[in-house]
Amino acid sequence: MKIQTLEWVGDGLRLLDQTLLPNDERYFVCTDVEVLANAIETLQVRGAPAIGVAAAYGVVIAAMNAGLSRRREAVAAAITRLRKTRPTAVNLFWALDRMASVADASADGELVTSLLKEAQAIEVDDFRRCEAMGRHGAALLPDEATVFTHCNAGGLATSGYGTALGVFYAAAEIGKRLRVFADETRPLLQGARLTAWELSKAGIDVTVICDNMAAAVMRQKNVDGVFVGADRIAANGDAANKIGTYGLAIIARHHNVPFYVVAPMSTVDISIPDGSGIPIELRNENEVRRGFGPNTVPESAQVFNPAFDVTPAELISGIVTEFGIARPPYSAALKKWMEAV
């Protein structure tokens, strides 16, 4: 199962506009760094690994568009601009650091070729890591499983396979039968619009529920596990993911349902000791006020719209990475695996 979230087309990056799903499957090509930065900020491309891959190609675009004498200056400016797009997802900074290192090590005449080669390597590397995570996570599921997920951690959020949803794809590929409950994921409905769209395309049984139905459904159904992605994981295993993940973890713990975070090691930020140091992006209040239609909040009322929350490590049953499944306490395994990246 591969979703064509993004594709390098020779002189630019072809992206699936995720803001139009599920009703309109439309692609556009970015040949300008500012256009790409705006696409990241407005969630036309989203998901921590996909943001990292897209940003890497943004650096290539900057180099291609500049003359030889200004190429390094353009690359540096692009990296600075792209770093400002989304503060929480550490994959963005990880990918840009890789691109900066390649730029520093490359001769002027080889800069574009070297940067493109590195961006393509980041994309391929992400897909392979997702496949590995999928295999590790699929082993956690019985032959017939009922699972939960929140937001979208699938092919749309990566180079095409997925982290949490990659577990479901890998399980289906070996003949396991799944029933997936997908939280709607307010305020932008990534679960309803994106997760349900791609699982349906893959032929996987998916049922969308409102976020506030999770506790009732978990109590009524025999749920085998909750699988979510992450945008940044601290050294102790605290994990930032889409707002509402923390509450789902609490619900899972109350109902004795294992709660798994699925993310590549590029999502781990070993420099942050715990989740209190993870920066949380605050997004435009109109995402809550208006959403996809008329006002639903009085203009006189204030709106608080954090994009992410942090699930404490003690609520996480396991962190599934490309190296395997880490169990609590997480620090030793994450540090060891980070050294092997």
- Residues acting as catalytic residues: 231
Structure tokens at 177: 């039968």
HSE, CB side, 13 Å, CA atoms: give it for residue 77: 13
d(C-alpha 130, C-alpha 261), whole Å: 13
**Residue 288 phi/psi, 5° resolution?**
-90, -40
**Residue 267 phi/psi, 5° resolution?**
-90, -15
d(C-alpha 168, C-alpha 162), whole Å: 9
d(C-alpha 147, C-alpha 216), whole Å: 14
DSSP3 helix / strand / coil % (the chain, rounded to 5): 45, 20, 35
